[in-house]
Amino acid sequence: MRYVLICNAGSSTLKFGLYARLSGEKVGAGEFDRIGSPQAILVYDLFGMHSEETYRQLRNHRLAIRVLLDVLTASDVAQHQISAIGHRVVYGGVHERAVRVTPAVEQAIWQARDRAPLHNPPVLACMRELKRRFPRTPQFACFDTSFFVALPEVAQTYAIDQRLARRYGIRRVGFHGLSHAAAARAASQRLHQPLAALNLVTVHLGSGCSIAAIRQGQPLDTSMGFSPLEGLVMGTRAGDIDPGALIYLLKAGMSVAELEELLDRRSGILGLSGMSADMRQIMTAAGYRVPGFPAPRRFTRQQREGARRAIGVFVYRLQKYLGAYAAVLGRVQAIVFTGAIGEHNPDLRRLVMSGLSLPGHPRVIVIAADEEGTIFREVKRLLKR
């Protein structure tokens, strides 16, 4: 049996999928969480066997890859059986379509790290560790921006001097495209209608959050733009903010590095709540029940108020985007929630949808995120060339 290994590296996570190359059957999947923390967790299913393990010294993604390969070996997957490897890459610079990884592609991903500082370095670490262990096995990079290459010009363009925009490549490219594409395809199957006949709003809610308007299978707009910072409130990212406020902070003495740290790592749910970037903990502190997540401790009044503030801003921002995208789409057949928060938090979905009056009375559909499946299909397509 020959397999294709799919890796999806986040800032502190590593998801993986193992697929039979010929049949396309998914024979294994799992996720490392809290990489770099004192208690990293690996949860996985391989060939029908479930396991959950904790690691105290999983300092980085290279070590996570080594653990993953040990797990595969223990499950009787020999090194020579891995015939191809695919990766999710948030931003590839000049590369917009899926490509085989070469030194030039690695260099482009590294050079583009300023546009995706939380994600590009970890995926490069995974690529290089796998190259060391599998020097002859082809690796492929699949980009989050690919789905949004066809965005209409009006949705791509910022209202700045266009000579400057062209010189520096300042335009909206969109992110989470692999997830939005998978969610739209799954919604089409759920509704028993061809994707080309549907208008959908897909909502990816996880540590990073984004929303996309999809008209007849093609992207019309999306909330993330030049970088993954734009749009919705996220775990630690601010989302939309007046550029004037950023100029003000720079003039007040904040350095560029400090501003980047603020917007990437100290804003969003964490900044609003003053407590946590984990929406499960925030919902629990605000008095909601989150399936599978027991209240870890008692919360102070200040923490409860911060949690309610974070939820209020998060929900309101999402409702504004939902209303805007429904308006430009016209009739909408479905609102599709995906991602860890979107899938597993029914109270949050109810908060988002309550009080909204959207054209077409769309169905609300919940889809399990399947970026790995989309990457696998891209890898198989490239292998056939």
Confidence of residue 289 (pLDDT cuts 50, 70, 90): confident
State the chain's mean pLDDT as an integer.
94
Count CA within 13 A, CB hemisphere, residue 49: 8
Please state whether 207 falls in left (phi above 0), alpha (psi between -120 and 50) or beta.
alpha
pTM: 0.91
Geometric angle at alpha carbon 185, from 318 and 198, rounded to 5°? 70
Closest Cα partner for 373 from 26, 11, 23? 26
Per the CB < 8 A criterion, the answer to whether 211 and 202 are in contact is yes
- Outline where the chain has alpha helix (H): 61-74, 103-111, 120-133, 153-156, 162-168, 177-191, 243-251, 256-265, 268-273, 279-285, 301-329, 339-344, 346-353, 371-383
- pLDDT at position 291 is 83
- pLDDT at position 118 is 86
| 144 catalytic residue (yes or no) | yes
- pLDDT at position 9 is 94
Give the separation between CA 340 and CA 206, rounded to whole angstroms. 5
The pair of three-digit structure tokens given for residue 306, joined into one six-digit string: 């911060």
Q: Tell me: the pLDDT tens digits for 111-169?
A: 999 888 889 999 999 999 999 999 999 999 999 999 999 899 999 999 999 999 999 99
Closest Cα partner for 86 from 163, 14, 190, 7? 7
Per the CB < 8 A criterion, the answer to whether 207 and 136 are in contact is no
Confidence of residue 75 (pLDDT cuts 50, 70, 90): very high
pLDDT higher than 70, residue 259 = yes
Q: Tell me: the pLDDT tens digits for 355-365?
A: 898 988 899 99
- pLDDT at position 296 is 66
Give the separation between CA 294 and CA 281, rounded to whole angstroms. 9
Give the separation between CA 132 and CA 86, rounded to whole angstroms. 15
Q: Tell me: the pLDDT tens digits for 336-346?
A: 999 999 999 99
pLDDT higher than 80, residue 385 = no
Other CB atoms within 10 A of residue 97 CB: 13
With a pLDDT cut of 70, the percent of the chain lying above it is 99
Catalytic residue among 33, 45, 76, 144: 144
Give the separation between CA 6 and CA 335, rounded to whole angstroms. 28
Enumerate the β-bridge partners of residue 7.
Answer: 16, 87
- pLDDT at position 128 is 97
pLDDT higher than 90, residue 384 = no
- pLDDT at position 288 is 92
Confidence of residue 353 (pLDDT cuts 50, 70, 90): very high
Geometric angle at alpha carbon 381, from 377 and 385, rounded to 5°? 165
The pair of three-digit structure tokens given for residue 23, joined into one six-digit string: 């049949």
- Domains of the chain (ranges, CATH numbers): 3-143 (3.30.420.40), 193-366 (3.30.420.40)
